[in-house]
Amino acid sequence: MQSFNSISKEYLAQRKQAGETCRLFNKSPSKGNLKRIKELFLKSGDGVIIESGFHCDYGNQIVIGDRTFININCTLLDSPLANYSIMIGDDCLIGPNVQLLAVSHAVNPTERLNKENFAAPIAISNNVWIGAGAIILAGVSIGENSIVAAGALVTKNVMDNTVVAGNPATKIRDI
């Protein structure tokens, strides 16, 4: 994990700009406002669809592959740090109210007083389906063709071709 101070002037300004872009899109999810959202990202593939209610903190380290669909009210709590991104592969389905949380805070109460954030990358491989209301935590990778069931809290890596469910998410079966 890498730490950064999210309340520095630089990061506050970046979050404000990204937040305004998200607000405009969510108020009016037109093609022009969708284009502005995608321009925040490090990379957005062809045929990416994002429904309204989308939120990200910075966007500049988010990578989304081709033909990925992000349903309503998705939150990507992302980091501005290089190599601490949220990467979503090709042909993914992200359900409504999904949260990808690549940023967290210190467990130690004294360290938390400094308001430092800790970031670790999230990697979603190709052809993954993340069900409604699932939460993926920092540092987690989801393997190719896998399914994260609705409402799952994913705290550990998921292997390829696996279905996980529950809180914390555990393997249900192979695909």
pLDDT tens track for 23-76: 999 999 888 888 999 999 999 999 999 999 999 999 999 999 999 999 999 999
Q: What is the pLDDT of residue 17?
A: 95
Higher-confidence position of 114 and 80: 80
For the cut 90, the answer to whether the pLDDT of residue 107 exceeds it is no
For the cut 80, the answer to whether the pLDDT of residue 84 exceeds it is no
Average pLDDT over residues 105-120: 85
Distance CA(28)–CA(41), nearest Å, equals 19
Distance CA(28)–CA(10), nearest Å, equals 28
Q: What is the pLDDT of residue 134?
A: 98
Average pLDDT over residues 139-166: 98
Phi-psi domain of 3 (left: phi exceeds 0; alpha: psi -120 through 50; beta: other): beta
Which residues are known catalytic residues? 105
Distance CA(101)–CA(171), nearest Å, equals 21
pLDDT more than 70, % of the chain: 100
